[in-house]
Amino acid sequence: MKHTMGVAGLAVMGENLVLNMVSKGFSVAVYNRTYAKTEQFLAGRAQGKEISGFQQVEDFVDALESPRKIMLMLKAGPPVDQFIEQLLPHLSPGDIVIDGGNSNYHDTTRRVAYLESKGLHFIGSGVSGGEEGALKGPSIMPGGSAGAWPYVEPVFTAIAAKVDDGSSCCAWMGPEGAGHFVKMVHNGIEYGDMQLICEAYHFMKSVLEMSAAEIHSVFIEWNNGELSSYLIEITAEITGFLDEDGEPLLDKILDAAGQKGTGKWTVDAALNFGVPLSLISESVFARCLSSFKDLRVAASKQISGHVYSFDHEKETMLKDLGRALYGAKIMSYTQGFGLLQASSNELGWNLNYAEIARIWRGGCIIRSAFLDRITDAFTKNPGLTNMLLDPYFLGMIVDIQGSLRRVVRTAVMAGIPMPCHSGAISYFDGLRTARLPANLLQAQRDYFGAHMYERVDKPRGEWFHTNWTGEGGDTTSTTYSK
Ligand code: NBP
């Protein structure tokens, strides 16, 4: 009997995805570079299930029904290319290779073209939700060779997380590296959400001087309202978790954050597409600054901040804090979806933003009630140019902006860094300002580099250069884009 799916890579994600597939009735052939791990899996969690393991790539490929569907759950980067080369001699036209790892979308675009040039299909798929998601239902974001999707869809739809209405958290994203691009932006948004929550925690702890138990109660309360989300839920649990000595464990954890790189990729993409992504960027930089622990400790001894005594009504400030967090989250998602919109427009991917928000509703780290609002916004108006202009978000942010301003002002006065909240209000104010000081910027560029400027009293597209010093000539620059 031939198997429905092949999975190569039996580390934490691969193993759990295989068990998920089998639990949904699909038979799976497995391969791992180090065969001992395959044997261990077969003798352990895979025992008694419709799973066969193979030592040779050729035998693994031969065990699959046609067209073959081979999912790679490998460490992203060169291992994926190396394993594709090992597979190629054994594949037949029409076979499908799926990369379910966290690959860079540029690599996926390259691999789609490469495999298609050999008469094969390649799908690059984001899989979100970590170990538990892989086993019980992740959010899946596939893209690449569209012709392969009908063969893969039944399996992916079955293994993905399901939301309240029973729909599956999986949908076809688009051509080339679209699936991995969407997953990358998901991870970037995750960075932003986490940093925003950390800033609210810092504010409660250092400005409002709340105890661990009080902070824990606030997160529980927030999780029952509009902020309800997986990340707020786990933050409630974390803030309430006590170490063996009965003290909050959180207070004992070193404040130096790690990162694996998808946040940086998202910021890179935003710079390349030329769209503002200030909240996610600030969240990446906040991790960088946190990692300079020794420097911060040394600086804290040499630089004293402003002395500030908090004298507002605490309950009112807490209410403001929850609203500010929600407002900043709206701004972060507006920017994240702005990046998706820019990539889709420039690369012709035709991304479906309502669907993207829908499939993030279950299985993944950023799952939240809030995502329904985004699905509603883009369902009502698929051509929405900026998420903030949707009537719900617009009404919400106009109402919330006072809270956001008060929280950021208080944090600044108290010397507590809130880079993402500050970035949120700056983006909001920039977006709603019809005339920014970029007139001066254009003048400066023209002054030192003859880059030219447009005038408010002339049609757009007409360019002018001024001889600002009386010493320059009439030659203008063509080196830099206007
Ligand atoms: P890892 O990212 O730790 O990768 C380990 C797997 O890659 C092992 O099966 C290993 O085989 C195999 N491998 C390596 Br390393 N080099 C290889 C090569 N040259 N040829 C063939 N196989 C090779 O596993 P993971 O944490 O399960 O993650 C898998 C993918 O899913 C990654 O891309 C990851 O970024 C992504 N992801 C992970 C999570 C998570 O929570 N862990 C969540 C979402 C996505 P070996 O046993 O012989 O060393």
Position 482 confidence tier, pLDDT thresholds 50, 70, 90 = very low
Q: Nearest Cα to 20, choosing from 122, 156, 114, 112?
A: 156
CA of 131 to the centre of ligand 1 (A): 12
Q: Is the CB of 76 under 6 A from ligand 1?
A: yes
CA of 112 to the centre of ligand 1 (A): 20
Q: What is the mean pLDDT of residues 458-481?
A: 84
**Which residue from 75, 85, 135 has its CB within 8 A of the most atoms of ligand 1, so it is best to mutate?**
75
The pLDDT score that the predictor gives to residue 480 is 52
The pLDDT score that the predictor gives to residue 150 is 98
The pLDDT score that the predictor gives to residue 471 is 85
The pLDDT score that the predictor gives to residue 477 is 77
Q: Is the pLDDT of residue 425 over 90?
A: yes
Q: Is the CB of 37 under 6 A from ligand 1?
A: yes
Q: In what order do the strands lie in the sheet with 28-31?
A: 51-54, 28-31, 5-8, 69-72, 96-99, 121-128, 139-144
Interatomic CA distance for residues 468 and 473, integer angstroms: 10
Q: Is the CB of 139 under 6 A from ligand 1?
A: no
Q: Is the pLDDT of residue 333 over 80?
A: yes
Q: Is the pLDDT of residue 102 over 70?
A: yes
Interatomic CA distance for residues 186 and 351, integer angstroms: 14
Percentages (nearest 5) of helix, strand, coil residues in the chain:
55, 10, 35
How many other C-beta atoms lie within 10 A of the C-beta of residue 405? Answer: 17
All domains in the chain, ordered by first residue: 5-176 (3.40.50.720), 183-431 (1.10.1040.10), 439-482 (1.20.5.320)
At 174 the three-state DSSP class reads strand
CA distances from 268 to 332, 423, 440 (A): 16, 18, 27
Tracing tokens 């675009």 back to the chain, one arrives at 109
Q: Is the CB of 9 under 6 A from ligand 1?
A: yes
Please tell me what DSSP assigns to residue 68: P
**Which residue from 7, 16, 72, 74 has its CB within 8 A of the most atoms of ligand 1, so it is best to mutate?**
74
Q: Is the CB of 75 under 6 A from ligand 1?
A: yes
**Which residue from 10, 18, 30, 33 has its CB within 8 A of the most atoms of ligand 1, so it is best to mutate?**
33
Kindly report, residue by residue over 361-394, the tens digit of the pLDDT.
Answer: 999 999 998 999 999 999 999 999 999 999 999 9
Interatomic CA distance for residues 202 and 235, integer angstroms: 13
Q: Is the CB of 81 under 6 A from ligand 1?
A: no
CA of 79 to the centre of ligand 1 (A): 9
Atom in ligand 1 nearest the alpha carbon of residue 260:
35
Kindly report, residue by residue over 269-321, the tens digit of the pLDDT.
Answer: 999 999 999 999 999 999 999 999 999 999 999 998 877 777 778 999 999 99
Q: Is the CB of 82 under 6 A from ligand 1?
A: yes
Q: Is the pLDDT of residue 479 over 70?
A: no
Kindly report, residue by residue over 111-132, the tens digit of the pLDDT.
Answer: 999 999 999 999 999 999 999 9
Q: Is the pLDDT of residue 187 over 70?
A: yes
pTM of this structure: 0.95
Atom in ligand 1 nearest the alpha carbon of residue 15:
27
CA of 276 to the centre of ligand 1 (A): 32
Please report, as a single letter, which amino acid is at residue 278. S
Q: What is the mean pLDDT of residues 29-42?
A: 98
So which residues are the catalytic ones? 183, 190
CA of 99 to the centre of ligand 1 (A): 11
Q: Is the CB of 126 under 6 A from ligand 1?
A: no
Helical spans, DSSP H, in 146-205: 149-159, 178-202
